[in-house]
Amino acid sequence: MAAIIPIPAFADNYVWLLREGRAAVVVDPGDAAPVQAYLDLEGLELAAIVATHHHGDHVGGIEALVARRQVPVYGPARETIPARTRALREGDGVVLDELGLELFVLDVPGHTAGHIAYTGRVADAPVLFCGDTLFTCGCGKIFEGTPEQLHHSLQRLASQPDDTLVYCTHEYTEYNTPFAQICEPSNLALKQWVGEAEALRQQNRPTVPTTLRQEKATNPFLRCTQAEIIYQIEQHNGIKLAAGDEQAAFTALRQWRDMF
C-alpha cells in the first residue's frame, strides 16, 4: 500500500514522497540532495516528479534528479517548469502506474498565476497536494494573482471532502497560528490545535498533513464569514465591511496578514 513520506528541505519545506514497493514519486522537489539521499537509503527508484508551481524552492531540484534518471515531469501548463514532459490543466489526470495511483488536477491561481493542486486517494484516504495555496492556519502570499483568484482557489480546495489530508509544502503552523488567534481569539478548536502543534514541533515532528475539517475549524482564511473574524478585521483596519461581502473580508484579511 502506498505511503507518503515528508522529506525536509531548506528551512521549512517538505518534499512529499509517495512510495510503493521500490517505486517513488516526489512532489515539489525544491532540493535534489535530500530526495536522492532518501532514495538511496531506502533503495527506491524514482518513477515521476510532480510540481504545483514554478517557484525555485519547489522545482529547483528537478534537473539534478532527472540527470540521474530520466522520468516524467508533470507541472502546470501556464508556468515554466524545468524538464517538464507533460503540461497539466484543470481536469487532467496523472496516472502513476508504478504506485497504482491517479492524481487529478485543479487550477488554483493566486499565489502564482498558473498554480495547480492535485487530488487523489492514497492508502484509501483522500489527499490534497496544494503547494503554497493553502497552509495550516494560513494561505499563500499573492505574488502573481489577485485576491479574488486566491479566495476562489481556497474555496475550491475547501469543497473537497472534510477528511481530505492536506499536504502543503511548508512547516508554517507555528508561524501562522499567532495571527489566527488574533483574528479569532474565542476559537477553542484553534487553541487546542496550538497546543498540539507545539507538542509535535518539540518532538521535531511535522504538523502536516492536517485535514480539511481541521482547516475549516481553525484557518481564518477559510472562515471569513465568522462574526468574530469580521469584527477583528474591522477593528484593525478601522473600516466597516458590507454585510455578506466575503471577498472584501478575505482581501482585507490577506492584506492584514501581509503586514503582520
Phi-psi region of 137 (alpha: psi -120 to 50; beta: other; left: phi over 0): left
Active site residue 163: no
Residue 225 pLDDT more than 80? yes
pLDDT at residue 1 in the model: 74
Range of the domain at 141: 3-259
Burial category of 5 from C-beta neighbours within 10 Å (exposed 0-12, middle 13-18, buried 19 and up):
middle
Per-chain mean pLDDT for the chain: 97
Mean pLDDT, rounded, for 146-160: 98
Task: Point out the catalytic residue in the list 57, 107, 115, 151.
Answer: 57
Under the banding of pLDDT at 50, 70 and 90, the label for residue 242 is very high
> How many folded domains does the chain comprise?
1
Average pLDDT over residues 63-78: 98
Residue with cell 508504478: 98
- Give the domain CATH number at 213: 3.60.15.10
Q: Examine the residue annotation and report whether 236 is marked as an active-site residue of this protein.
A: no
Average pLDDT in the 193-204 region? 98
Is the pTM here over 0.95, yes or no? yes
Is the confidence at residue 198, as pLDDT, over 90?
A: yes
Name the catalytic one among 58, 107, 115, 151: 58
